[in-house]
């Protein structure tokens, strides 16, 4: 049954009066380092051990904090259990790995830190106001990275010289697209002219950067997010949603050059691309075909965490040319699902899919049963996850820091909304039915503090 936008409209509720404090400030610094790689942009910040120090400081500040809204309470959620299970399977893959030393390093330096980041984000938030601040930190971090990277390294569309600066052009395109729903959310709730001007300026620059990347996967992710915003995002009128999508399209058309659109047009002719089967040994089709072979040969524990490239250089039949002195590229999986299946095994793939399902179900429940700002933020996070995962279909991002930041915000949102939702689904539905229809957009003073 179709429902008009009016019935879904959510009256904005005043956010909690939560002030910045030391744990939240430390977490924001950690995000700038771990997610947005500021140490790769500024040589003065490239200090060995800086990430570890900031992580420990954040942990200590959270451990010493006495706010009952913080901590592990409310974190026993399917998303957390699936993420920890995936980390456990990655650890179990180390003994039988093609390169145990590399796998151990990858698990400790990336996978463990990604899960820890998720828990820190989820545990640190006290309410929706803190999540709004983290959304601002995301936009600020991404914009800073784009400004410095384009100023210092960009020379042309799809320029690969961005690789030394933490993210390459395809990574950056996916990040830009996945941040856009949060921009729309903050624009919708912001009343200050200065905030809206900052969001507008940031959006213009991000779209210009997206055009410079020349990323086809980023374009597909943008189409998916635009479709989601038009068809399923509620709380903003259809006209405003359409206007936002049209504005983004106009900015991209106006700011991108002809080289970008020439690359995008190749999507319509996939058989002519080097990624098509038979065109190149390192093309996506050939790469994925070999990856399926690794899964078949190592179905339980995989080739080892982080060892897909090692498998390419040692197990791939095409790699035999190396013994004759010829070059063969040790490629990454270029698909998050194949990455997990090949490196950690089929059980890891099952847990990874469960993780994604749990994340979307958690946000969908908040969207259906919560009130006020929590509903809008849940929808924005769904859009961000859609954008990121569509892009990740073409790149190995199963343990990307930004992905786990989104998971942490999702878990944190479910945690702070739980007093309104209730601990069980029937209780949440009962609460929803108990609210008279004309007043469903409003919150009581107590609910505002909890939401």
Summarised one tens digit per residue, pLDDT across range 412-435 is 999 998 765 544 343 334 334 333
Cα–Cα distance measured from residue 410 to residue 366, given in angstroms and rounded to the nearest whole number:
9
Please give the residue that has the higher pLDDT: either 61 or 256: 61
**Residue 122, pLDDT above cutoff 90:** yes
Q: Supply the pLDDT for residue 63.
A: 92
State how far the Cα of 23 lies from the Cα of 26, in Å rounded to an integer: 5
Tell me how far apart the alpha carbons of residues 32 and 39 are, in angstroms, rounded to a whole number. Answer: 9
Local confidence band at 436 (pLDDT 50, 70, 90 cut-offs): very low
394: CB partners within 8 A, 6+ apart? 170, 217, 220, 284, 334, 335
The 8-class DSSP code of residue 20 comes to P
The tokens for 435 are 């609210």
Q: Cβ atoms within 10 A of the Cβ of 191, count? A: 7
Highest mean pLDDT among 222-226, 282-286, 446-450: 222-226
Q: What's the pLDDT at 161? A: 55
The pLDDT of residue 160: 56
* Percentage above 90 pLDDT, the chain: 48
Over residues 264-281, the mean pLDDT reads 72
Count of residues making up the chain: 451
DSSP string for residues in 313-334: HHT-GGGGGGGGT--------S
Give me 246's structure tokens. Answer: 């049209």
Asked if 265 and 39 count as a contact pair (C-beta separation under 8 A), the reply is: no
How far CA 279 is from CA of 224, 271, 272, 276, 320, in Å, comes to: 28, 9, 8, 6, 19
Task: Return the half-sphere exposure (C-beta side, CA atoms, 13 A cut-off) of residue 54.
Answer: 21
Q: Which residues contact 169 (CB under 8 A, 6 or more apart)?
A: 158, 159, 160, 162, 212, 213, 214, 215
What is the distance between the alpha carbons of residues 375 and 364, in angstroms, rounded to a whole number? 9
pLDDT band at 156 (very low <50, low <70, confident <90, very high): low
Q: What CA–CA distances, in Å, run from 166 to 145, 163, 175?
A: 9, 6, 13
Angstrom distances, CA of residue 238 to CA of 5, 231, 267, 400: 7, 8, 29, 33
- 42 or 234, which is more confident: 42
Q: 8-17, 164-173, 423-432 — which one is most confidently predicted on average? A: 164-173
Task: Please tell me the pTM assigned to this model.
Answer: 0.85
Weakest-pLDDT range from 60-74, 91-105, 322-336, 354-368: 322-336
Please report, for the chain, how many H helices and E strands are present, in that order.
21, 0
Rounded Cα–Cα distance for residues 37 and 45 (Å)? 10
Percent of the chain scoring above 70 in pLDDT: 84
Helix or strand run (H / E) with residue 247: helix 238-255
pLDDT confidence tier of residue 162, bands split at 50, 70 and 90: low
User: For the segment 225-239, what is each residue's pLDDT rounded down to a tens digit?
Assistant: 999 988 888 777 788
Question: Rounded distance, CA 352 to CA 340, Å?
Answer: 7
CB-CB contact of 291 with 308 (8 Å):
yes
Domain boundaries, the chain: 20-269+332-436+444-450
């Amino acid at each position: 049954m179709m429902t008009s936008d009016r019935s879904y409209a959510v009256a904005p509720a005043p956010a909690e009066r939560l002030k910045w404090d030391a744990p939240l400030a430390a977490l924001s610094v950690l995000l700038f380092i771990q997610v947005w790689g500021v140490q790769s942009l500024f040589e003065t910040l490239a200090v060995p051990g800086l990430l570890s120090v900031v992580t420990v400081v954040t942990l200590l500040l959270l451990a010493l904090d006495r706010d009952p809204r913080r901590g592990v309470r409310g974190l026993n959620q399917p998303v957390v259990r699936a993420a920890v299970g995936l980390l456990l399977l990655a650890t179990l893959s180390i003994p039988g790995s093609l390169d145990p030393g590399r796998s151990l390093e990858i698990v400790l330096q990336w996978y463990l830190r990604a899960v820890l980041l998720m828990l820190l984000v989820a545990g640190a938030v006290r309410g929706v106001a803190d999540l709004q601040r983290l959304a601002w930190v995301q936009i600020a971090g991404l914009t800073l990275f784009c400004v410095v990277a384009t100023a210092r390294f960009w020379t042309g569309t799809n320029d690969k010289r961005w690789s030394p600066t933490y993210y390459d052009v395809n990574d950056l395109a996916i990040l830009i697209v996945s941040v856009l729903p949060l921009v729309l959310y903050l624009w919708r709730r912001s009343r200050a002219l200065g905030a809206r001007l900052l969001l507008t300026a940031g959006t213009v620059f991000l779209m210009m950067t997206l055009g410079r990347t020349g990323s086809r996967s980023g374009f597909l992710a943008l189409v998916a997010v635009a479709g989601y915003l038009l068809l399923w995002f509620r709380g903003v009128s259809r006209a405003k949603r359409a206007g936002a999508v049209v504005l983004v399209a106009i900015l991209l058309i106006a700011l991108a050059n002809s080289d970008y659109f020439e690359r995008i047009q190749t999507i319509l002719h996939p058989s002519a691309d080097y990624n098509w089967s038979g065109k190149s040994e390192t093309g996506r089709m050939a790469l994925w075909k070999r990856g399926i072979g690794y899964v078949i040969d190592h179905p339980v524990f995989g080739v080892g965490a982080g060892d897909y490239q090692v498998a390419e250089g040692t197990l791939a039949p095409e790699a035999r040319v190396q013994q004759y002195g010829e070059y063969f590229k040790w490629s990454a999986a270029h698909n998050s699902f194949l990455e997990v299946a090949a490196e950690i095994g089929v059980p890891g793939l099952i847990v990874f899919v469960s993780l994604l399902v749990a994340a979307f179900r958690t946000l969908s429940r908040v969207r259906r049963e919560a009130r006020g700002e929590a509903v809008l933020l849940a929808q924005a996070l769904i859009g961000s996850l859609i954008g990121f995962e569509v892009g990740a279909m073409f790149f190995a991002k199963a343990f990307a820091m930004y992905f786990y930041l989104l998971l942490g915000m999702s878990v944190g949102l479910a945690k702070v909304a739980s007093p309104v939702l209730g601990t069980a689904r029937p209780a949440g539905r009962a609460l929803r039915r108990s609210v008279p229809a004309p007043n469903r957009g409003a919150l009581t003073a107590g609910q505002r503090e909890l939401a």
